[in-house]
């Protein structure tokens, strides 16, 4: 594992790891990329809010609070208030661009759409970003039939097999009735009538009568289900947990290396024990040192189509947890993006390869410092 120091404050370092460095027999194991930022929520130059807001398509958030017996009522209430989302079946893509929906929903922002059960490495996938971009990640045959300008995927092999087409509906050239608008509409209705299941959501604070009417009018034409994110809680008992301080996070030292800490955190989320003694022969997970016993802890997960605006509100509420003294000095929030989303952060292309890694973890410390870990696989651009 290597690391590179970029900035003094906030502190950022990039870590790449590959198992082939450990053994020649593991040369084919995929590398991963981990970008870490250490800063304070009070630092005006910190960028945690930008990273959260630009990670558009999230399916799960996990919160781990050591030395906590019951999920705080304010946190539970906020997670319960996360907005609903819709699963729409067999929706033609061009329906998103029809004038009523385009003018009253898409151009107003805060609308999210992602094709459902489409595989980024095999199928045509579609996403609509709250900033107004329609993203089409398509195979070579589809791209040639569409006749729209795009660019080769940066994750092709020796030959170009996939392309990415981006249509910004906020541009003047995409006004209904314009030549470009008619061309895009014709491509999606006549040349390649793409259709698939979609997940829809819209940030509730952006609601307006015109938006509600246009969304309901579209939904009424298709089979759809309304869903609410599902909350689950789990009490942890009698286990070790790291004793964290802000200065502990290092990119090149043995204590609390990012990969080691995230491995432990992932094992806890999956209910894998990390309390066994280290064995020189067996490969096992163990709690990073220094660590202390934890009599109990709270782990909660929320699954569904989770919007960045709601996750940002959750993070702010978790910061408030330390307004009063607590037995633990930290808590962690981990957000997982859809593995088959065509984008990760912003418009950065997301690929799959073997694992589809696409997540971030924010460790909130009781002095309002934070550690931010942003992880992707080798088929992704570097997180911002």
Q: Supply the range of the domain harboring residue 253.
A: 2-82+230-377
In a domain, 335, yes or no: yes
Nearest to 32 by CA among 8, 51, 14: 14
Query: Mind listing the pLDDT tens digit for each residue in 188-235?
Result: 999 999 999 999 999 876 556 667 889 999 999 999 999 999 999 999
Q: Are residues 90 and 71 in the same domain?
A: no
Cβ neighbours of 126 (radius 10 Å)? 24
Specify the number of domains making up the chain. 2
Q: Are residues 72 and 25 in the same domain?
A: yes
Q: Are residues 181 and 125 in the same domain?
A: yes
Q: Are residues 70 and 10 in the same domain?
A: yes
Exposure of 346 by Cβ count < 10 A (0-12 exposed, 13-18 middle, 19+ buried)?
Answer: middle
Q: Which residues of the chain have pLDDT under 50?
A: 1-9, 13, 16-27, 251-254, 280-283
Dihedral angle, C-alpha 243, 247, 252, 253, nearest 10 °: -50
Predicted pLDDT of residue 207: 56
Predicted pLDDT of residue 378: 73
On whether the CB atoms of residues 134 and 113 are closer than 8 A, the answer is no
Q: Are residues 268 and 325 in the same domain?
A: yes
Final residue before a domain boundary, out of 206, 227, 248: 227
pTM value is 0.87
In a domain, 57, yes or no: yes
In a domain, 384, yes or no: no
Q: Are residues 137 and 66 in the same domain?
A: no
Predicted pLDDT of residue 289: 67
In a domain, 382, yes or no: no
Q: Are residues 43 and 93 in the same domain?
A: no
Q: Are residues 171 and 249 in the same domain?
A: no
Query: Mind listing the pLDDT tens digit for each residue in 252-292?
Result: 444 557 777 788 788 888 777 655 555 544 445 666 666 67
Q: Are residues 59 and 95 in the same domain?
A: no
Q: Are residues 182 and 196 in the same domain?
A: yes
On whether the CB atoms of residues 338 and 317 are closer than 8 A, the answer is no
Instruction: Give the integer Cα–Cα distance in Å for 337 and 74.
Output: 25
On whether the CB atoms of residues 318 and 364 are closer than 8 A, the answer is yes
Helix (H) or strand (E) holding 376: strand 369-377
In a domain, 134, yes or no: yes
Q: Are residues 344 and 293 in the same domain?
A: yes
Final residue before a domain boundary, out of 176, 199, 227: 227
In a domain, 250, yes or no: yes
In a domain, 215, yes or no: yes
State the DSSP string of 261-313.
HHHHHHHHHTT----SPP-SSS------SSEEEEEEEEEEEEEEEE-HHHHHH
Predicted pLDDT of residue 215: 92
Q: Are residues 150 and 193 in the same domain?
A: yes
Instruction: Give the integer Cα–Cα distance in Å for 9 and 219.
Output: 47
Final residue before a domain boundary, out of 227, 253, 284: 227
């Amino acid at each position: 594992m290597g690391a590179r120091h970029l900035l003094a404050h906030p502190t950022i370092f990039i870590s790449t790891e590959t198992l082939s460095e450990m053994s020649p027999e593991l040369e084919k194991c995929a590398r991963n990329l981990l970008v870490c930022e250490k800063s304070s929520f009070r630092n005006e130059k910190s960028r945690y809010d930008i990273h959260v807001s630009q990670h558009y398509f999230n399916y799960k958030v996990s919160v781990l609070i050591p030395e906590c017996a019951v999920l705080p009522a304010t946190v539970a209430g906020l997670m319960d208030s996360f907005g609903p989302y819709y699963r729409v079946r067999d929706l033609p893509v061009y329906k998103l661009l029809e004038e009523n929906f385009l003018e009253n929903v898409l151009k107003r922002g805060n609308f999210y759409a992602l094709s459902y059960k489409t595989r980024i490495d095999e199928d045509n996938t579609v996403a609509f970003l709250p900033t107004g971009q329609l993203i089409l990640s398509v195979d070579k045959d589809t791209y040639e039939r569409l006749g729209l300008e795009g660019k080769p995927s940066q994750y092709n092999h020796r030959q170009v097999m996939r392309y990415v087409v981006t249509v910004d509906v906020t541009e003047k050239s995409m006004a209904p009735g314009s030549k470009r608008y008619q061309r895009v509409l014709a491509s999606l209705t006549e040349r390649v009538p793409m259709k698939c299941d979609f997940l829809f959501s819209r940030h509730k604070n952006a609601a307006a009568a015109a938006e509600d009417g246009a969304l309901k009018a579209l939904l009424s034409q298709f089979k759809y289900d309304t869903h609410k994110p599902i909350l689950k809680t789990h009490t942890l008992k009698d286990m070790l947990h790291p004793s964290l301080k802000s200065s502990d996070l290092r990119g090149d030292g043995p204590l609390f290396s990012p990969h080691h800490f995230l491995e432990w955190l992932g094992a806890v989320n999956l209910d894998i024990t990390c309390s066994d003694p280290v064995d020189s022969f067996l490969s096992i997970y163990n709690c990073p040192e220094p660590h202390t016993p934890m009599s109990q802890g709270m782990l909660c997960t929320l699954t569904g189509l989770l919007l960045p605006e709601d996750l940002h509100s959750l993070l702010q509420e978790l910061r408030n947890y330390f307004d009063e003294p607590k037995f633990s000095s930290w808590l962690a929030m981990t957000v997982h993006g859809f593995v088959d989303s065509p984008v990760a952060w912003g418009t950065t292309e997301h690929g799959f390869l073997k694992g589809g890694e696409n997540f971030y973890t924010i460790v909130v410390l009781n002095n309002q410092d934070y550690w931010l870990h942003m992880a992707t696989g080798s088929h992704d651009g570097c997180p911002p």
